Structure 1
């Protein structure tokens, strides 16, 4: 990308985040419920992602799949803005203007990992409340919400009215969830799963952006010489494929860390292991990939939509990129 006003990178990332929630939130709800209840010893299990989604629709209708989507729109927009913005600006700083369209691993990997590490601190305060439909009526409440979202995102998401799921404490919204967590676990409870989130985001972002950049480069290389009339359609098609493949690569690489994070954040025992690698000893290799189906089904369309939204927004904002 050529030098440009910094804020534009963040605006384009914000648009990508909004589109991601619209496309992928229902799949994420199913994934979190599978990770929580299908890794516990004993108890009723969901047969698969489709069974879980069907149960949610039967007991809570479509709104059950979008539990907490209101807060996710705010959180994901902010997080995506930072992720794409930091990645774009750091990559530009590391590789300068010597781009030529060819991916530069020495710039892509550290830029993506750095962006992922930064947003992991916000995410670890954000995912414990994910599926709350609580409103955010003013800026102060928004700040209070954002200081607790990752841990509470999952805790709100695993709630619901499905009789297959053991009845748990109900939270009316993210703020109540935050207050109860602090009362019961102290301030450190708000950072449960922090290491797992840091590893997931830094490693995952490096894998995602590397896959996206290389897939995009080689696809454009193959399509070089296409008529200018079809160039916009080609850009969208390449964005869909490169973004979708990047999303699949991301989750294939870090799903075990995501499963560990969900378990750490939703287990009520204070002395439960915070080691993200203990998931293998607890549930084996199969348990590490609990929720893989809905995760990959979500990964392609959600990330494809995010990349297309990011690239189109960047183009509208005047951020040009050499193919």
Structure 2
């Protein structure tokens, strides 16, 4: 399947990479500010022992009672900096790959498979950055009570490294992170480009830059849905590994997580926290794509 994108060829401007990075950073900041409360609820549900919470509403009630509204934004500094960096990598690598194919195909439209490849390469590159950032964020998000093991992201990184080193400490959960990012972002960006192409095909008089912010939000939200529906169980595996005890771990690796979660909870165990995640997908990803596109228009 070939997607007809009726717009000028992608520019080879020497400043384009900088523009892509800045656009992605702005999109990432928007994603965190909109999506962090949903993500905190999701992580609490994913990582808590069976029976701790009855559902998302129970998490919300306890958070408000015990930690107040600020509890939803615990560990926000790490994702605000980190997710901004991650999304800038995602978008800049994806745009670079689109330019690569544009050159290779001499201006011919990319196929859906090629858009998937662009996103998958971006996801794989991003996985090496996202894995430690998410690990630190999750450790901070799941701290409850007055006794804190970590006093912020830098302290968390130091203690993870001192306890388990780089590979088994800071980078714990790297393999499922790479799989999630590669497959998920391949689907994510391919879905978005397909929706953009469909919109341009409906009205041949408009260019990509003419598509309204509301529609960009809608397309980004739908792309977020396809991403999380496709890879959510892998995210649960990653979260289980990254919230495991540092001193007495329950899991030896991803396969061990799969075996133990299935034995204790069946298939539903891989979908704990799915509701807040899917509720987050539309606003967070809608904001990400809309802010990225608007920033790129502003930068020219």
RMSD (CA atoms) = 2.2
Aligned to 1:209: 189
Match of 2:228 in 1: 251
Distance 1:9 1:186, change over 3 A: closer
Number of residue-to-residue matches in the alignment = 281
**Deviates further, 71-80 or 45-54:** 45-54
CA contact (8 A) 1:113 1:201 kept: yes
Residue 10 and residue 235 in structure 1: after superposition, are their counterparts in 2 closer, same or farther (change >3 A)?
same
Counterparts of 1:312 and 1:252, CA distance in 2: 27
Which structure 1 residue ranges, 4+ long, deviate > 3 Å from structure 2? 97-100, 223-226
Q: Does 1:10 align with 2:10?
A: no
More helix by share: 2
Call closer, same or farther: CA 1:303–1:18 in 2, change over 3 Å. same
Q: Distance in 1 between matches of 2:91 and 2:198?
A: 21
Equivalent residues of 1:129, 1:155 under 8 A apart: yes
Where 1:160 maps in the other structure, the secondary structure is coil
Q: Distance in 1 between matches of 2:143 and 2:252?
A: 22
Deviation of the 1:20 alpha carbon = 0.4
Matched, 1:181 2:192: no
C-alpha distance after superposition, 1:135-166 (max 9, x if no partner): xxxxxxxxxxxxxxxxxxx11111123xxxxx
More displaced, 12-21 or 178-187? 178-187
SS at match of 2:40: helix
Structure 1 residue 176: Cα displacement: 2.0
**In 2, Cα distance between equivalents of 1:262 and 1:30:** 13
Where structure 1 has 5 or more consecutive residues not aligned to the other structure, the ranges are 131-153, 162-166, 319-323
State which drifts further: 45-54 or 59-68.
45-54
Q: Residue 208 of structure 1: CA displacement?
A: 0.3
Q: Deviations over 1:244-267 (max 9, x none)?
A: 010011011111111000101111
- CA displacement at 1:99 relative to structure 2: 5.1
State the match for 1:275 in structure 2. 254
Which TM-score applies when normalising by structure 2? 0.86
Structure 1 residues 45-64: aligned runs within 5 Å: 45-64=52-71
* Structure 1 Cα separation of the partners of residues 255 and 282 of structure 2: 25
**Structure 2, gaps ≥5 residues long:** 1-8
Q: Given the superposition, is the C-alpha separation of residues 81 and 280 from structure 1 closer, same or farther in structure 2, using an over 3 Å criterion?
A: same
TM-score (norm 1): 0.81
